Amino acid sequence: MDLFWLFCDGNPQLFYQFVNMPFAFLFYCLARQGHLSVINRYVYLTLGGFIFAILTMGSYSLLLFFSAVLLLLLIYCLHPTHIHHWTLGLQMCWQTVWHLYIQYQLYWLQETPDSRLLLAISALMLMTQRVSSLSLDLQEGTITSSFQNSSQDLSVLIPFLSYSLNFPALLGGPLCSFNTFVQSVRQMSVTPHLTPYLRRLTSKILQVIILVWIKYPLKELLKSITFRVNSPCVCQNIIWIWILSLLLKMNYYAHWKVSECVNNAAGIGFHGYSHSGKKSWDGFSDGSPWVTEALSRPSAFARQWNRTTAVWLRRMVFKRSNISPLFMTFLFSAWWHGLHPGQILGFIIWSVTVQGDYKMHHFLHPMLTSKWRKWLYVCLNWAFTQLTISCVVVCVELQSLESVKLLWCSYIAVLPLLSVLIIIIL
């Protein structure tokens, strides 16, 4: 177990998701062979989440249980046309209270927060996605709550409770809609043979191992390059920041991919058959790290990075905001992430960069008439995307204003300022 913890590089979320996988696989096998009825599948997922939360978060698991109970009360008491605003508002307030408590510990008391509290808040952020997605589905009428009828069968509570607390999604995405979740649970007994299922699962586990392994040469490379304040070698500091951001991004990619594995191991992700007749197990994905890193536009990177969260933000804020929807979306993302100073700055940089990318692409696209011009544009824009996203990742991850000093000393902070100039000029 110590060796496995070492492999996970001391990342508790990655470690717990690996531990989660055998129980998810057991659930799928029992459901597929008909040993679990539909209602028992919901109970298994809910109890699994309940036990998993207590074991990993201790008393802080109450943060999640409070949100789950609150969701059921709102569904029971409110009309669907009013449920979303109350659900999203109360959930975000509850989450923000704990984010501010962490900032109080960090910046006022100068204490390191309990790791179980950090894990609980991470799970609470994911629950915010699920409950707000469900409430908006209810408001838009894409699902119908039986609570609106005269029948008040307690069994109706179980799918909603299972959706909010199911153990495969407790510590990691991807986010799925309530309808997709219900469909996945119900159709497990009719899913195909284990061969494509195991092939897909093995492929993703290998990707996780590769992503974790990549971190080690990146760490050694980071140690070999010395970051010097006011160094005459500007490129050295910029490369150091870029490698640091790659290392931080690998943590995200590995966590997202192992979370896909846990969901697929539980049978969540089978989407029937493709047009070619092949079995599709790629229903849930937060994007491919290889595709994401190859993108040459900041706006495309923003849509692909943590893809299901990007879709959720677009649905919650961008499509529903009448005033500056792009800026409001990134501002809401900063609020959802915790409102640390570095996070606010990071998401402001990202919004400015995306806006500048739209204007620059619209201006330059008619001039890209030859092949070499297109290749030059793609290459330069890829480098610009990598470096500006590096600024965002370092700010968001370091959280404090120390990240600003770090970026300014490396002169990489000039790149976001270029986006501001592009917006002003164009």
* Active site annotation includes 251: no
Please give the Cα distance from 404 to 219 (Å, whole number): 22
Alpha-carbon distance values, 381 to 105, 184, 303, 304 (Å): 40, 40, 16, 16
Question: Of residues 255, 306, 340, 381, which has the active-site annotation?
Answer: 306
Q: CB–CB of 345/320 below 8 Å?
A: no
For 369-397, b where at least 16 C-beta lie within 10 A, e where not — what string? eeeeeeeebeeebbebbbbbbbbbbbbbb
* Active site annotation includes 306: yes
State the number of CA atoms in the 13 A half-sphere of 355 facing the CB. Answer: 24
Please give the Cα distance from 362 to 391 (Å, whole number): 24
Tokens of 169: 């999604």
- C-alpha torsion angle, residues 171, 175, 179, 183 (rounded to 10): -70
Count of Cβ atoms closer than 10 Å to residue 210 Cβ? 15
User: Sign of the CA dihedral 180, 90, 77, 38?
Assistant: positive
Name, in order, each residue with C-beta under 8 angstroms of 229's C-beta and a sequence gap of 6 or more: 409
Please give the Cα distance from 295 to 304 (Å, whole number): 9
Alpha-carbon distance values, 421 to 91, 236, 360 (Å): 38, 25, 11
Question: Of residues 82, 271, 337, 361, which has the active-site annotation?
Answer: 337
CA 335-269-170 angle, 5° bins: 40
N residues, the chain: 426
| Distance separating the N- and C-terminal Cα atoms of the chain | 57
Question: Which residues are part of the catalytic machinery?
Answer: 306, 337
